[in-house]
Amino acid sequence: MRQAVTASLSVWGERRFGYSTLKDSSESLLDERKLRPGLKEDSVIEEKERAENEQEQLEAVLGLPSSPVEDTHQTDSMEPSDPTLDCKKGGGMEASLVCGGRKGSLGALPMQRCSSLGTTAPQWVPDSQAPACMKCGSKFSFTKRRHHCRACGKVFCVVCCDLRYKLTHLGGKEGRVCVTCHSTLMNRTLRKDQKKVWFADNLLPQSESRSANSSPLHRSVSHTERAELAQAEVSELRAGDEVSSNSTKPTPPKDLPPILTSTGVKGDYTLEEKRTESSLLEELERGLAAPLVFVLNANLLAVVKIVSYVNRRCWCVMSKGMHAVGQPEVVILLQCLPEEKRFPTDIFNHFIQIYWDAQTAGKLLNHLSHSLVSRGFLGNNEHAGFLYVRPTFQSLEGLPLPAPPFLFGVLMLRAEAPWAKAFPLRLMLRLGAEYRFYPCPLFSVRFREPLFGPVNNSIMRLLVDFRFYRYTLPTVPGLVVDLEARSTCIRIPKTRHPELLKALNKSNERVLALGACFNEQADSHLICVQTADGQYQTQAISIHSQPRRVTGSCFFVFSGALKPSSGYLAKSSIVEDGLMVQVTMEALADLRRSLRDMKDFTVTCGKLPPAERQEYVHIQWQDEEPRFNKGIISPIDGKSMESLTNIKTHQRLEYRANGKLIRWTEVFFLLKDQHPNGVNNHSSQNRLTERLARAFCLALCQSLCLLKEDGMTKLALRVTLDGQKMEFLAGSNGQRLPAPYQECLNQSLTSVVQSNSQYQGLAACQLELIFYILEDTS
């Protein structure tokens, strides 16, 4: 669905406005007389048509009534060389047969052909009889494919046959038509008061913007000029450069965005704009229709469906297109209101804002992050935004889901926003306790009561600045706390030692406090509940019908307030949804040294002298860390990318050509010991990776339209360097790129490595770079 969708967006403006996005409409209307011999009578008719068109334009400007022009040529003495010659009125563009407005000037045969165009199915020209495009004469090859016009049946290249039009013989659905038939059909129905159609964010793709602002009268463009224009359009965008698509902030749409629907022909889609909400809701409620696909902008879609999830009737609104800006896709499950008759369009606007923030500022959402909204969102001033969670133990049955990675957004209220900013794990687990889902629900409920009130005498007031958020509780990724009977274990991944050192350096000498991650190995978790009088109580939430063996904790605090004369080795206790351990200052200093040296440490809790019933707090370093990048696979061969380190490259490299844009979004490190913070990641390797990405983009720049048309919008390049061995592999949709692309890439990429001697001595590395092909909206 996505490849076909994006492939169809580039011609939306052409279908709606009647202008061509291929530079100018005349650019692809090369004179057929240059490609095949014509009759002498044809040139006479062409000269007369130009004179007639110029006369009509002059009369229109002067406000004079148009007078019929008699044609002295005999119609039976001329057989048109092309039954689909242009039927548009315009001064001096190309020879055209005017099919309306004058009586019988060209005989019955041309009139019949023009009037039946699009109403009856044409006779298709066999592929074997069309070795070259029947418009521009370009010979077909591996990269230049054949395309049949659904109106006239002739065979053209993609340049001459890349438009869509609603055809009667297809039941009113849109079909692919050539530029000549498109002009004929458009001028038959074009009205002066036709309005333009915009995307939901009020931004048009680059090619459509040019068409919307240009005059319908274009000059002819030669093949040489077209090549020069295409080459001049290729440009590199670096981080920090001004991007014109980012200069205008998207504005919320007033009506429903256009809807993308299939024409019934594979790869062909159409846009519907003026469907009423009532009719769309009726289709969704019946459950017979496929999910509705709304076009938010040229590269972003919203898929909407009404589902029954855990016995709740919910809107399921899913984004498609966030991956191209480095952002996980977003899914919103919103419980329907009784007798609800309106679409939750505020979610569409919020998707556009998320996409905008990721594209322009590199602000990306991840697990337990949040986004804020303005007042009045979804009809309530108390709705503050969404808390985003990654599904773990929740059921996903019956939900339409995007390709990983994706996040679920859970609606939060303004009173809960401080916890989303300072300590989101507490809010997530509290939502789970409220709706009895472990660890939290994936659906959102509007107009509910807040779960937290003002922050009063919580221990978090000592650890977090709730007023200005100048400091908060640091969290080390992968750090979890296991609570068992008389034993507590704090597990820290060894790969996260640098993050732990940063937290140690910023901590107070007398207190060491760290936030923990959600413990997926535990079968229950501590939660904190605020009562009606503002007090905080400790409770636990567990997986349904499972015994509680290991309980997770949200944070831990080591305090050096214990005096040696207290009679205790150390004290441990549960405080709200965390663990408090009181030790002496000497023991706290030993703990800090052990953490800096990445050594295990054990604290014994109990009275002096040691008794039988003592408790232990263990700090252990783990070789493995919790799994991440779940479900992500390589576009080349489907290889799993789970637990492989990756780095987002927000707008570090972009190239554009012919109305398309190719963007490098991230890089995966395929070797386990090849960590970006390790010794292998020196500046030379970083420069090599960037130069390989640049060479990949430049090699494919002129083929972006073909790749996008074939559905190859997500590309990957796998690079293997091991001493003198060099291997480059590119692919998309689980398959390698065709041989011509691969050969071109091998030549370009090999020259990058061989031309720089400093790369020859690099340690073995294996990288996979991810690219996306998008519509250029600048």
pLDDT confidence of residue 362: 87
Q: What is the pLDDT of residue 651?
A: 60
* Amino acid making up residue 184: T
In angstroms, what CA-CA distances link 266 with 4, 148, 151, 174, 414? 8, 14, 17, 12, 47
Is residue 526 left, alpha or beta, with left meaning phi > 0 and alpha meaning psi from -120 to 50? beta
Sign of CA dihedral 81, 82, 87, 89: negative
Rounded distance between C-alpha atoms, residue 23 and residue 455, angstroms? 60
Which tokens in the block code for residue 549? Answer: 């063996």
CA distance 611 to 613: 6
Asked whether 21 and 211 are in contact (CB, 8 A), the reply is yes
Residues of the chain with pLDDT under 50: 1-113, 191-198, 207, 209-247, 678-681
**Each residue of 244-286: pLDDT tens digit?**
344 455 655 567 899 988 766 655 678 887 678 888 888 888 7
Q: What is the DSSP letter of 127?
A: G
Whole-angstrom distance, CA of residue 600 vs CA of residue 605: 17
Q: What are phi and psi of 157, to 5 degrees?
A: -85, 175
Question: What pLDDT, on a 0 to 100 scale, did the predictor assign at position 300?
Answer: 96
- Nearest Cα to Cα of residue 768 among 679, 660, 696: 696
State the pLDDT at residue 235. Answer: 44
Q: What is the pLDDT of residue 69?
A: 35
Record the pTM: 0.71
* Predicted pLDDT at 505: 93
In the chain, what are the domains?
Answer: 127-189 (3.30.40.10), 256-453 (no CATH), 459-529+546-623 (3.30.1360.220), 646-775 (3.30.500.40)
Phi-psi region of 353 (alpha: psi -120 to 50; beta: other; left: phi over 0): alpha
DSSP assigned state of 373? -
Residue identified by tokens 């692809």 is 28
> Which residues, 6 or more positions from 537, have their beta carbon under 8 angstroms from its beta carbon?
528, 529, 530, 531
**Sign of the CA dihedral 650, 653, 656, 660?**
negative
Q: Give me 45's structure tokens.
A: 């008719």
Q: Using omega within 30 degrees of 0 as the cis cutoff, is the peptide bond preceding 216 cis?
A: no
Backbone torsions φ then ψ of 569, nearest 5 degrees: -70, -45
3-class DSSP state for residue 777? coil
To 10 degrees, the CA torsion angle through 745, 748, 754, 759?
-70
- 16-50: pLDDT as tens digits: 333 333 333 333 333 333 333 333 333 333 344 44
